[in-house]
């Protein structure tokens, strides 16, 4: 068992080694191996990884905006369909799609706390972002004046 001082030295040495040309080349070659690539791709498809991505991004936003963050993996449940639009939630490839899952703060002022988060589609979250109920009602009336209210959200995904 390593002492605290030995652990610190080992970490310092490892970090220095990884930054050297030899260390960088080792890790580049390691992650290019087919069995490693296959394992990483398989892991990225798991719900565990996806919830981790939602959590990490939410933690960053909470830090930037100075809002509370006290949720964990158990507080996030990804539904099969968006509770607002009813479209199937599908993960994008690097860029969010209209039907990608997005972590929503029900009351934005309370932050990311237990009971105040839900997973909805990225489009629903974008629309909900900064509008009040009155603003959403006015937008709805404006759109229906032009007969555009019949656009199906599933066609946009």
Give the DSSP letter of residue 95: S
**3 found inside a domain:** no
- What is the DSSP track for 9-36? HHHHHHHHHHHSHHHHHHHHHHHHSHHH
Helix (H, G, I), strand (E, B) or coil at 28: helix
Examine the pLDDT at 64 and tell me if it is beyond 90: yes
Examine the pLDDT at 142 and tell me if it is beyond 90: no
H helices of 66-145, in order, are 122-128, 133-145
At which residue do the structure tokens 């996030």 appear? Answer: 76
Distance CA 97, CA 156 (A): 9
40-68 mean pLDDT: 91
**57 found inside a domain:** no
Domain ranges, residue 101: 69-156
At which residue do the structure tokens 């009336």 appear? Answer: 141
**119 found inside a domain:** yes
| 80-114 pLDDT per residue, tens | 998 888 889 998 877 888 889 999 888 888 899 99
Q: How many domains does the chain have?
A: 1
């Amino acid at each position: 068992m390593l002492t605290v001082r030995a652990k610190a030295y080992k970490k310092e040495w490892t970090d220095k080694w990884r930054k050297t040309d030899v260390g960088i080349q080792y890790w580049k070659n390691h992650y290019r191996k087919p069995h490693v690539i296959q394992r990483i791709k398989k892991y990225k498809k798991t719900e565990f990884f996806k919830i981790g991505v939602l959590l990490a991004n939410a933690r960053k936003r909470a830090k930037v905006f100075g809002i509370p963050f006290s949720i964990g993996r158990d507080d996030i449940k990804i539904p099969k369909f968006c509770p607002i639009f009813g479209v199937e939630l599908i993960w994008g490839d690097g860029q969010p799609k209209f039907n990608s899952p997005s972590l929503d703060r029900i009351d934005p002022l309370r932050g990311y706390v237990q009971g105040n988060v839900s997973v909805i589609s990225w489009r629903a979250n974008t629309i909900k972002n900064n509008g009040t109920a009155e603003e959403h009602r006015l937008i709805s009336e404006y759109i229906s004046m032009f007969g555009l209210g019949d656009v199906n959200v599933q066609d946009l995904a």
